[in-house]
Amino acid sequence: MTVLIIGGLAALVGSAVLIAGWGLGVGALKSVLPGLATMKANTALGITALGAGLALTASGGRLSGLGRLAAGAALVLASVTLAEYAFGWNAGIDQLIFIDRGPVPHPGRPALGTSVSMVLFGVALLVVRRPGLHVVKSVAGVAGSLIAWAAVTGYVFGAEGLQSVPFFSTVAVHTAVVTLLLGLGVLAAEPTFWPIRTALERSSGGVICRWLLPTAILAPPALGWLLGRAAMFSIYPDGFRWSLYSAVASLGSVWLIMMLASRITAMDAERAAAAELSRHDALTGLANRRAFDDFLMESFSLARRYRHALSLILLDIDRFKSYNDSYGHPAGDELLRRLGELLRSVARESDLVARIGGEEFAFVLPETDLAGAETLAERVRQEVERSAAFRRPVTVSLGIAAIGQETSGVSMLVHDCDVALYEAKGAGRNRVSVAIAA
């Protein structure tokens, strides 16, 4: 959409200068300010064609062919103009549309810099959506944009200096601005080549680029204009003003680096917080199944390697469906939240408490043997049974398993613990069942 808007705006400006400026004699459209260079009729025609080409190419579908046709027309016009400059030739196109009696050596002829930019943009638009020519499109777009940016900054520092350079001598200020916009639109059209892709993508790098690039691009010209044009600095000699520019530019670079570091730190913190949230159950705040699996795998590997104890407790709420049916799902959620708080309160810092299913919870107990796990499980069972935090008395069943010589892996440990849990449920609930040590 942005590319479409840029193309439409460029086409609108070019056609307005061509029709109203040259056709109806509105001088303000040909030259923004009196005494400045005018946008030539052929320049306006080329900008109109390039803007239309950019907009039609961005719209896709069948209109892309018309976009390439418009871009090709602008390319031919600008190429002939370059040939005129290169070979001292008069192709008879400078005064073809309107008669220009300006004081320059070649009235009606687009500036050399403008012609080069139009050739580059025309080539770039002709190769859009051609995978083998992405580099050509990007290089042409960057080169043309740099030429336009040099003209814009030349006007910032003073039109007199710009007009003394033959390459830019007849570039109008609005020509420079619109050509720069066209360059940005060309670069944004199908951004598949570095560095444009990096600046426009939704990654962290793209966010940082879009956050810092405007300052990095606009600050140096603004600073140069201030030191060169502001009355308060005009009393200083050029050497001192250059030293001021160097000092402030260095400070600006440091500021950008610090802002970049600050932004990266903030993004790292956001990413870490998001990762932490992704490992916790949203309802209870306990670890979720993913965190449980990772922690159990890591703990099992360490216990096996160093021959340390490791136990696992699986816990299931007795008759949870009946509780939900009696009091509703919001009450069931409240039960889960309060049970999560209770389980967290009895666990050690080294233990992991997780909600691994609807009403199923787990304790991973590093450095804890079967006897220690049974003691904790019995305490949990009694705490839940005595708790007055629920709408009616609630009980839980627990299964325990510990790593042994024959425990082949995590899946076997979980299976043994699960079997013990089902034994507790089958034996009447509200009890602890211990898996037979392997």
Active site residues: 359
Report d(CA 279, CA 288) in Å as an integer: 6
Q: How far is CA 43 from CA 138, 160, 231, 360, 378, in A?
A: 23, 21, 36, 74, 87
By the 10 Å C-beta count (0-12 exposed, 13-18 middle, 19+ buried), 284 is classed as buried
**Tokens 């034994």 belong to which residue?**
423
SS3 316: strand
- Pair of tokens at residue 217: 């691009």
Q: Is the dihedral of CA 287, 288, 292, 294 positive or negative?
A: negative
Nearest to 324 by CA among 426, 220, 394, 247: 394
Q: Among the residues of 164-203, which ranges form H helices?
A: 173-188, 196-200
Q: How far is CA 221 from CA 151, 165, 235, 264, in A?
A: 12, 18, 20, 27
R_g of the chain computed on alpha carbons: 37
SS3 410: helix
Q: How far is CA 157 from CA 35, 151, 417, in A?
A: 16, 10, 78
Residues paired with 312 in a beta bridge: 364, 401
- Pair of tokens at residue 357: 């299913």
Contact 21, 39 (CB under 8 A): yes
Report d(CA 329, CA 344) in Å as an integer: 22
DSSP secondary structure of 25-62 = --HHHH-SSTTSPP--HHHHHHHHHHHHHHHHHHH-TT
SS3 339: helix
How far is Cα of residue 214 from the mean position of the Cα atoms in its chain? 16
